[in-house]
Structure 1
Amino acid sequence: MTYEELLTETALNNEQVIVMTAENRALVRNLPAVLGKRFIDTGITEQTMIGASAGLALRGRIPVVHALAAFLTMRAYEFVRTDLGIANLPVKLSGFIPGLLSDANGPTHQAIEDISIMRGIPNVTVFAPADEDDLVKMLPQIWQSPNPAYTRINTRKTGYEHEPFELGKAEVVAVGSDVTILTYGLLFEQALIAMEILINEGLSVGLVNMRSLKPVDEAIILQVAAGSNLIVTLEDHFLTGGLYTIVAEVLLQYQTTAKVLPISLNQKWFRPALLPDVLQHEGLTGKQIAERILGYQTNHFQPSILTQEFSE
């Protein structure tokens, strides 16, 4: 099932669902003909769209609103904070082309601080599916929640079959004692590749899909910290405020510590290009991720705990 198919089915089964867009119909091209007056395009007016969605939510509707992630989270930030977050209204924000998915667009279109700013708003929940299968498994619960929600929309197909979704819970793909990769969204694909490379190098490797970032699965983070020699946080987002920060907050809250290697965009915008070239340029292909982890292992752990291949 695609995102549009899920939204169509949901809207047809629930007349309270309103679909809105700020002239960004890429995900919902067929909805106007199906929903009629329950499809609203406000034009390139993200702030107006959020204000209108708040009014509709106050009247019992469930607006699912669409815009490019950069403009939805930054241009309309104050409206999301004041009209939706403080009021705790069940408006569902669908952020299109977040993070590296904006590939060929310039810095103005790159939403690589969206996790940080959205999770800082009271009552707003934050989600980042790994692919389209993950997305359609997550959205029913997100849309049924009484809280405002921001979802990084990812409609890429990876062929991975995800577990059923539960709000606030991560998906444990594999458990490992040497290194565990915590990731979300687009880079889940590359994490799968990196995991296979590292396993072939003799490491015990874990992988966790941190699909729910607020609320976050604190128990999984603590389990990984206790059971794995190294945590790797992998994300297409600025270092500040993203998954690395979330992990640090959890560890500090529970007065524990761990070795953590963050792999992210370290306060720089990525160079516009097609996605495969962006991944290569930023060092975020599965092979490059694995190489970075192997290098960290070699430089930060005693040879006695490394395989013979590493110590050579």
Structure 2
Amino acid sequence: MPYEQLLSETALADERYVVMTAENRALVRNMPRILGNRFIDTGITEQTMIGAAAGLALRGRIPVVHALTAFLTMRAFEFIRTDIGIANLPVKLSGFIPGFLSDANGPTHQAIEDISLMRGIPHMEVYAPADEDDLEQMLPAIWASPHPAYVRINTRPGSFKHEPFEPGKAELIATGDDITLLTYGLMLEQTLLAADILRGEGKSVGIVNMRSLKPVDEKAILQAADSRLMVTIEDHFLTGGLYSIVAETLLKHRVTANVLPFALKDKWFKPALLPDVLQFEGFTGKQIAEEILGYEVGRESVRTQPNEFAE
């Protein structure tokens, strides 16, 4: 079901819902006609929008707010933290064109630190649907939660049929003894392609859609650690995203694992059309698979070397 249709049906069935935007109507073009005065466009004023949403939430409303992800999570960060997070208000943040989905935009419009920022706010839930079907599975539960939530909106069609969603639960797509690929959002598509290539090379490959990043499915991460190699794949900075979540979880449970991360390391991505961004930055399924296979070979050779720290 398209995002706007799902939101319309939800809002029409429950008058507590208010739809807001900071002059970003791409996802909600028909809402003024459908909701009347329950649709509010504050203009290019993300901070004002969040402040107003907090006020409405204090009066029993459930605001679903929309803006470009970079400006929603960064320009309005203090307002999200202070007005929504501290008060634990049920404001739902819909971030448009997150990660590589802002493909043709430069660094100012790229949201590749959003997971790190949002999951650092107490009470804030963080979700990243893989495609439109995943989004449809996830949003009803997210909107119904009494807590604030941030969603990386992804309306791209996908070929994978997703399982029903439960907050705090990952979607286990496949299990594997050799390699387990953990990903979220847009990158699931390339992860599935990488898995097919790896299986063609005789590898036993698991795939986990980490659609719920906060609360996170620690059990799924610990089970993935049973593989010979864990791989995290994300269109986000290395710091603060899935790689950090995995590291925190393993350390918390005193588990050691081999982890290979695919993430942006201290640089923004080169603006281009999405296929070219993926190719240039090394995030196509083919490139991911090739790097994993190369890493596996290198790791096997390292094992034959003496441990310089051994007594």
**TM-score bucket of the superposed structures, by smaller chain:** over 0.9
Summarize the alignment of residues 70-109 of structure 1 with structure 2, pairs less than 5 Å apart.
Answer: 70-109=70-109
Provide the residue aligned with 2:55 in structure 1.
55
TM-score (norm 1): 0.96
> Residue 306 of structure 2 corresponds to which residue in structure 1?
none
**Gap change, CA 1:303 and 1:205, over 3 Å in 2:** farther
Q: Which residue of 2 aligns with 1:307?
A: none
**1:135-284 correspondence to structure 2 within 5 Å:** 135-225=135-225, 227-284=226-283
Shift of 1:158: 1.1
In structure 2, what is the Cα distance between the partners aligned to 1:39 and 1:139?
19
1-structure distance, mates of 2:150, 2:302: 44
Provide TM-score, normalisation by structure 2: 0.96
Give the Cα separation in 1 of the matches to 2:257 and 2:111: 29
Q: Give, in whole Å, the separation in 2 of the partners of 1:26 and 1:136.
A: 17
One-letter amino acid matched to 2:136: V
Runs in 1 of length 4+ with deviation above 3 angstroms? none
What SS does the corresponding residue of 1:94 show, helix, strand or coil?
A: strand
Q: What is the CA distance between 1:147 and its match in structure 2?
A: 0.4
The share of aligned pairs that are identical, in percent, is 73
Equivalence for 2:309: none
Instruction: Give deviations 1:196-253, integer Å, cap 9, x for gaps.
Output: 000011000000000000000000101111x200000000000000000000000000
Counterpart amino acid of residue 291 in structure 1: E
How many angstroms apart in 1 are the aligned matches of 2:126 and 2:114?
A: 10
Show CA shifts across 1:178-210 (max 9, x none): 000000000000000000000011000000000
Alpha-carbon distance between aligned partners in 1 of 2:146 and 2:42, rounded to the nearest angstrom: 24
Using the alignment, how far apart are the partners of 1:266 and 1:141 within structure 2? 33
Counterparts of residues 2-13 of structure 1 (less than 5 Å): 2-13=2-13
How many residues are paired up?
Answer: 303
The letter of the residue matching 2:275 is P
User: How big is the shift at 1:303?
Assistant: 10
What is the CA distance between 1:301 and its match in structure 2? Answer: 2.3
Task: State the SS of the aligned residue for 2:190.
Answer: helix
The CA distance in 1 between the partners of 2:158 and 2:145, in whole Å, is: 27
* Structure 1 residue 159: Cα displacement: 1.7
* Structure 1 unmatched ranges of 5 or more: 305-312
Q: Which segments of 5 or more consecutive residues in structure 2 lack a partner in the other structure?
A: 304-311
1:244-269 per-residue CA deviation (whole Å, 9 max, x = no partner) reads 00000000000111000000001100
Q: Secondary structure at the match of 1:25?
A: coil
Give SS of 1:301's match: helix
- Give the 3-state SS of the residue equivalent to 2:234 in structure 1: strand
User: What residue in structure 2 maps to residue 35 of structure 1?
Assistant: 35
Residues 5, 290 of structure 1: alpha-carbon distance in 2 compared, 3 angstrom cutoff: same
